[in-house]
Amino acid sequence: MENACPLCNREYTALNQHLRVSHLVKNIEERGKLVLLASRRLNIRSEACPVQSCDAQKGTRLDRHFKRSHTELSDGAKTQMLDNLKRRLILGTLGPLRASNPSVPMVSTLDLDEAAGLEEEKEVEEEEGEEGECQVTKLKAEVAKLKDEVAKLKNQVRELNDGFELSQAYNRNLKRAYAKLKRSALKASKKSVIFGTADVLEYSLPQTSAEDEGSTDIPSGTILCPPFPDHILTLNTLLEEYKELQEGPHPDAKLRNNVQSKLHRIRNVLGWMSKGQSGLAKLKFLNDQKRLKGWVGYLVDCGMARTTSLHYLKNVRQFLVYVKETPPKTSCLGQKDLVMGDRYLKSVIKGWNRHVVQHQMSVKGRKDAIMHTVEELQKCRRLALLAIPKLLSKLEHQHTHSSLWKLQGYVAAYLASLYGHRLGVFINMTDLEVSEAVHGDKDDYLLKMTHHKTNEAFGTAKMLLNKEEYGWLLKLIALKTKCASTTKLSRFVFFNTTFGRNRNLTKYLQMVWSEMHLRGDVNFITLRTAVATFARDKHGEDSVQRKRMARLMCHDTAMADKHYTMDLSVEQARNGRLLFEQSQETTNSRTRPQTE
């Protein structure tokens, strides 16, 4: 066996690890020689021929000598003789290593066993000379018998080890099945609290300790609904048609993911509404207003965020409208029944928005507390201006991955802190877009990036760079061309080790942000939030300047007001108070006419 362990004769792929863990071979030199003994990858070209009657000496290219000479030997015999030679040479190196008394003790005794075997053979030869050929034949028969027994024992050991591995795999499967049953029983117990014990199947939960019970707690905000009745063909067909309608003719990966999330929420609600019902193909269970109200109450009690639960309500209402407009043939629901459910969900969504706005304001307040300051953005660009030329010079003389990641992180930090673009704008920027940049009259360059999140609404994302900033991108492309001299070039400016799109750009942005000793955690969204907020505070909510900046950021002002911080600072509140006071000054007040 080519990959067999020389100590236990079992085949292993990771033989080095097996020797270290199973046989405790800690001596690195000894372990290397044992791995070499198993692989037989030893250079024996300069060794003498092992055939006793051959006159070939050392240095005669033993491999060529064996191919051209010794035609009396079969290929199997030649291979066996070469293997024996390699084994003898490798075992010969274990003796000097053992004699050197290494600090890490040796474990194997193959060289000692080999020497003992040779001594026994010599003794046998002496006995043969003394006792004659009859005794030799008897001893050879005993040796052959012992070898057969050893081979049988090795096979038994191998079979026992294989059986042990199978039993371990079986035990792992049993543990997984036990854990799955345990989780199912826990879900059933949760559902019994919601529906009542009469509506839920009885599960037998194995007896567990208090520690095991505490480890299976389900976090707050997790939806535990009855399973969707996927055995009903009408419901499966209805959801499949709804899925095709939502995806449209040419869906991308993001749209498919969003539609899959919608279907998951709808399946949860259908499982809730259909629990314990019959005749599900008629869809009469959708008219159960009491159970629909119970599901809305469960959304409140399960601890889910208001914004997430609002998505549940909107998705379910959209599905009910779809069923009302295009009911399946087996449906027995009337228009009145569906209108009642639609009206109820519409009123719930209207009342839900108040809590959602309060939740959004609290989130925006937390964003405002950790938002980057103007001074931090300015310091980021100032330090990046100093670091980028040094890294470019270093990479021209010695290319290292760490320097390349820092360079890309500094360039991305500089541009993102100025323009507030998303991550997709940078990782999708191509060499062609850089080379086709519009050269302005004032020695500046206008870049237009096509592939980004909001290209459908805003077209290309734009950045105006000066000559030095534009040179950074050109040098990045030149570095890529230099490194990929024998590899297919990537078309992306920010590339990784395989010259593909660098999807770890956020990681390198955070690395250089920490290197600049700036406050807080950073990513492209936090920089975008800061840039959009400062644009609103500096230029005003409805100013032309803010709208112009929003177009460059590919983000409209209505979306910015919805998702970014809206709390007033002390200075803004002070200016607002001044406006109130000015509006009530005596010179501007309306006097009440006097009556006689």
* Residue 26 one-letter amino acid: K
Claim to verify: residue 460 and residue 502 sit in the same structural domain: yes
The side-by-side arrangement of strands in the sheet containing 438-439 is: 438-439, 444-449, 461-466
Claim to verify: residue 398 and residue 455 sit in the same structural domain: yes
- Whole-number pLDDT of residue 33: 80
Domain assignment present for 586: no
pLDDT digits (tens, 9 = 90+) for 359-384: 777 777 777 777 888 899 999 999 99
Domain assignment present for 521: yes
For helices 289-301 and 253-273, give the axis angle rounded to 10 degrees. 120
Tell me how crowded residue 506 is: count the other CB atoms within 10 A of its CB. Answer: 18
- Whole-number pLDDT of residue 527: 92
Domain assignment present for 463: yes
Are the beta carbons of 447 and 433 closer than 8 angstroms? yes
Q: Which of 314, 336, 370 is the last residue of a domain?
A: 370
Q: Quote the distance between the C-alpha of residue 579 and its chain's center.
A: 53
> Does the pLDDT at position 149 exceed 50?
yes
Determine the Cα–Cα distance for residues 113 and 116; give it in Å rounded to an integer. Answer: 5
Q: pLDDT band at 200, cuts 50/70/90?
A: very low
Domain assignment present for 564: yes
| Number of residues that this document lists for the chain | 596
Determine the Cα–Cα distance for residues 259 and 251; give it in Å rounded to an integer. Answer: 10
Tell me how crowded residue 394 is: count the other CB atoms within 10 A of its CB. Answer: 15
Q: State mean pLDDT over 264-276.
A: 87
Residues 6+ apart with CB under 8 A from 186: 205, 216, 218
* Residue 293 one-letter amino acid: K
Claim to verify: residue 81 and residue 148 sit in the same structural domain: no
Number of domains observed in the structure of the chain = 4
Return the closest-CA partner of residue 287 out of 326, 356, 335.
335
Claim to verify: residue 396 and residue 518 sit in the same structural domain: yes
Residues 537, 542, 543, 548, CA torsion sign: positive
DSSP 3-state assignment of 560?
helix
Q: Which of 330, 354, 370 is the last residue of a domain?
A: 370
Concatenate the DSSP letters of all residues of 180-206 into one string. HHHHHHHHHHHHHHHH-GGGS----PP
* Residue 112 one-letter amino acid: L
Domain assignment present for 593: no
Mean pLDDT of the chain: 79
Claim to verify: residue 61 and residue 162 sit in the same structural domain: no
Determine the Cα–Cα distance for residues 352 and 359; give it in Å rounded to an integer. Answer: 11
- Whole-number pLDDT of residue 400: 87
Q: Which of 338, 353, 370 is the last residue of a domain?
A: 370
Q: pLDDT band at 553, cuts 50/70/90?
A: confident
Residues 6+ apart with CB under 8 A from 177: none
Question: What is the domain extent for residue 22?
Answer: 15-130
Claim to verify: residue 531 and residue 399 sit in the same structural domain: yes
Claim to verify: residue 60 and residue 141 sit in the same structural domain: no
C-alpha distances (whole Å) from 266 to each of 239, 263, 305 are 9, 5, 18
- Whole-number pLDDT of residue 587: 53
Q: Is the pTM of this model over 0.75?
A: no
Determine the Cα–Cα distance for residues 148 and 3; give it in Å rounded to an integer. Answer: 22
DSSP 8-state code for residue 495: B
Domain assignment present for 589: no
* Residue 107 one-letter amino acid: V
Are the beta carbons of 337 and 283 closer than 8 angstroms? no
Domain assignment present for 205: no
Claim to verify: residue 106 and residue 116 sit in the same structural domain: yes
Which residue do the tokens 């607002």 mark?
A: 576
Task: Name beta bridge partners: 461.
Answer: 449
Claim to verify: residue 34 and residue 162 sit in the same structural domain: no
Determine the Cα–Cα distance for residues 189 and 200; give it in Å rounded to an integer. Answer: 8
DSSP 8-state code for residue 277: -
Concatenate the DSSP letters of all residues of 409-444 into one string. HHHHHHHHHHH---HHHHHT-BHHHHHTPEE-TTSE
Gyration radius from the chain CA atoms: 39
C-alpha distances (whole Å) from 474 to each of 384, 432, 479, 492, 592 are 17, 11, 9, 12, 72
Claim to verify: residue 393 and residue 348 sit in the same structural domain: no
Return the closest-CA partner of residue 427 out of 506, 497, 315, 511.
506
Q: pLDDT band at 586, cuts 50/70/90?
A: low
Task: Name beta bridge partners: 492.
Answer: 430
Task: Name beta bridge partners: 464.
Answer: 446
Are the beta carbons of 50 and 35 closer than 8 angstroms? no
Q: pLDDT band at 509, cuts 50/70/90?
A: very high
Claim to verify: residue 35 and residue 63 sit in the same structural domain: yes
DSSP 3-state assignment of 551?
helix
* Residue 34 one-letter amino acid: L
Burial class (CB in 10 A: 0-12, 13-18, 19+), 580: exposed
Q: pLDDT band at 456, cuts 50/70/90?
A: confident
CATH number at residue 406: 1.10.443
> Does the pLDDT at position 134 exceed 80?
no
Tell me how crowded residue 90 is: count the other CB atoms within 10 A of its CB. Answer: 19
Q: State mean pLDDT over 142-150.
A: 85
Q: State mean pLDDT over 508-518.
A: 94
Which residue do the tokens 């012992």 mark?
A: 146
E strand or H helix at 393: helix 374-397
Q: Quote the distance between the C-alpha of residue 581 and its chain's center.
A: 57
> Does the pLDDT at position 211 exceed 90?
no
Domain assignment present for 429: yes
Return the closest-CA partner of residue 460 out of 471, 468, 448, 470.
448
Residues 6+ apart with CB under 8 A from 460: 448, 449, 450
Better pLDDT: 48 or 511: 511
Concatenate the DSSP letters of all residues of 446-481 into one string. EEEE--STTHHHH-SEEEEEEHHHHHHHHHHHHHHH
pLDDT digits (tens, 9 = 90+) for 539-551: 777 777 877 787 7
Claim to verify: residue 394 and residue 319 sit in the same structural domain: no
Q: pLDDT band at 414, cuts 50/70/90?
A: very high
DSSP 8-state code for residue 23: S
